[in-house]
Amino acid sequence: MPKAEPEVLVLEGREVAITNPDKPYFTRDAKLSKLDIVQYFLSVADGAIAGIRDRPIVLKRFVNGAEDQPFYQKRAPEKRPSWLRTATLSFPSGRTAEEVVVDDAAGLAWIVNLGCIELHPHAVRAGDLDHPDELRIDLDPGPGVEWADVRRVAMEAKVLLEELGLRGWPKTSGSRGLHINARIEQRWTFAEVRRAALAFSREIERRAPTLATSKWWKEERHGVFLDYNQNAKDRTTCSAYSIRPLPDARVSAPLIWEEVPDCDPAEFTVFSVPKRFAEIGDPHATMDESRGSLEALLDLAARDEASGLGDAPWPPHFRKMEGEAPRVAPSRAKRAARTGSERKAPRSKMPLIVVANSQNKEAALAGLERWKARHAEAAKRLAIDDVLVDAMRGQYTTWTRIRVNLRNVPEDIRPNQETPDPDDDPTREWREKWRGAK
């Protein structure tokens, strides 16, 4: 069957060709073509552009639709419109990349045509790539955590931000979590903003210890994780009005605080958000007018450090940082630290097994259910946070690994490590070659 002719849109005097406009992007609960996706973004363009304007963007491309695996593209495509701006970023690895900067509806339509249904801007402006203008608070619930708990943690975050002289702007993540962004003055480096975010996460954990955690290692977490590392350089999160690759075409929707205690993320989809936008506009339209200071939050960080709280783990691709604890998961730590000549007892190893690896998250979760059915006696003893669903990121693709912590299962009925089901680890071939080369 021949491909449909491109649909040429004229946006503010600029032509943008939408190739394969009839290509299916959602086929399950929602039925949407690529052109439908472009038209959705144009219907909320003022809001979507506000979240990415003047910011370098990592292109997360779903070239085969939302139901296939995406890949990340940092560098701007060589073939691009002459009117599309770029900015050159440097990364912790020492490499640089010329990334796309979108300022208008034409640029927005152009990147959506590439398959970018999620918009991933950096927390900096193109004019100053070393000083973020945004503190990002990412509330990430663990497996089995109730949505009500995410909302409770969000309201705790609102109170703390106000105490610190900052204004938070909440939005649904479009998946299971909430994002809260706060505009800040461009005075601090990425390292300082991350340090402030870590102090914020730890304070929320102190205020809501049964609901929230700042622990980086998944085997130590419970409840809602405040991911302070989203503020490290080179990290991006999906911005407002992004579409998430869920069957109902759910959207990352900006909210006002009064909506948070009762909101339901399932209400915000490609079908409902344009109507909401037409009726109430963008709830975050004035965000740039409320820039605040990090001084109070950095004072809190200093108090934490004075009390003995050192740095927390950084993302794995960063070099080891001064003051950072050993970057090794507790379950893999072989020995406890020495105190003088006295040797502490070795830390016990967590009984973790891998039950599924897949480039399709739903397939991995189905494999978990099959494992639970095979090992029903063990499965019923698992706590909510004993199931670790890891979003793994390779060089170009993402995949899902599911592990189970058997700490609550008596040793005599603990299942052994089996071949994961499914067992589709896209990094295995590379790792085996690397080991062979060593």
pLDDT tens figures, 132-185: 999 999 999 988 899 999 999 999 999 999 999 999 999 999 999 999 999 999
Helix 147-163 × helix 190-207 angle, to 10°: 120
The DSSP H or E segment spanning 286 is none
Q: Where do the H-state alpha helices sit in 88-219?
A: 105-113, 147-163, 190-207
Helix, strand or coil, per DSSP, at residue 46: helix
Q: Which two tokens stand for residue 42?
A: 């144009």
Q: So what's the pLDDT on residue 438? A: 52
Give the rounded distance of the alpha carbon of 167 from its chain centre. Answer: 21
Q: How far apart are CA 14 and CA 52, in angstroms?
A: 19
The DSSP H or E segment spanning 421 is none
Q: How far apart are CA 358 and CA 365, in angstroms?
A: 9
Q: So what's the pLDDT on residue 390? A: 84
Contact predicate 434/425, CB 8 Å: no
Q: How far apart are CA 241 and CA 232, in angstroms?
A: 23
Helix, strand or coil, per DSSP, at residue 320: coil
Q: How far apart are CA 425 and CA 399, in angstroms?
A: 7
Query: What does the pLDDT look like over 17-58, one tens digit per residue?
Result: 999 999 999 999 999 999 999 999 999 999 999 999 999 999
Q: How far apart are CA 128 and CA 376, in angstroms?
A: 55
Q: How far apart are CA 188 and CA 92, in angstroms?
A: 17
Helix, strand or coil, per DSSP, at residue 361: helix
Beta carbons within 10 angstroms of residue 228's beta carbon? 25
Whole-model pTM: value is 0.78
Q: So what's the pLDDT on residue 396? A: 59
Strands 398-405 and 352-358: antiparallel
Which of 214, 193, 194, 195 lies closest to 203, judged by CA?
214
Which of 226, 229, 140 lies closest to 177, judged by CA?
140
* Residue carrying the six token digits 């979240």: 51
Q: So what's the pLDDT on residue 341? A: 44
Which of 386, 381, 384, 409 lies closest to 331, judged by CA?
386
Q: How far apart are CA 87 and CA 202, in angstroms?
A: 34
Contact predicate 133/291, CB 8 Å: yes
pLDDT tens-place values along the chain, 438 residues long: 567 799 999 999 999 999 999 999 999 999 999 999 999 999 999 999 999 999 999 999 999 999 998 999 999 999 999 999 999 998 777 789 999 999 999 999 999 999 999 999 999 999 999 999 999 999 999 888 999 999 999 999 999 999 999 999 999 999 999 999 999 999 999 999 999 999 999 999 999 999 999 998 888 888 999 999 999 998 999 999 999 999 999 999 999 999 999 999 999 999 999 999 999 999 999 999 999 999 999 999 999 999 999 899 888 777 777 777 677 777 766 444 444 444 444 445 678 999 999 888 888 889 999 999 999 989 988 887 788 888 776 655 678 899 999 988 988 899 999 999 999 887 766 656 656 665
Q: So what's the pLDDT on residue 342? A: 45
Q: How far apart are CA 403 and CA 173, in angstroms?
A: 24
Q: So what's the pLDDT on residue 334? A: 46
Which residues, other chains included, contact 15 with Cβ-Cβ below 8 Å and sequence gap of 6+?
8, 9
Give the Å distances, CA to CA, from 264 to 172, 185, 274: 9, 32, 17
Q: Which two tokens stand for residue 144?
A: 């089995």
Q: How far apart are CA 72 and CA 58, in angstroms?
A: 7
Q: How far apart are CA 182 and CA 187, in angstroms?
A: 14
Q: How far apart are CA 214 and CA 202, in angstroms?
A: 6
Cα atoms found within 13 Å of the Cα of residue 3, Cβ hemisphere only: 10
Q: How far apart are CA 266 and CA 10, in angstroms?
A: 33
Which of 109, 118, 136, 125 lies closest to 59, judged by CA?
118
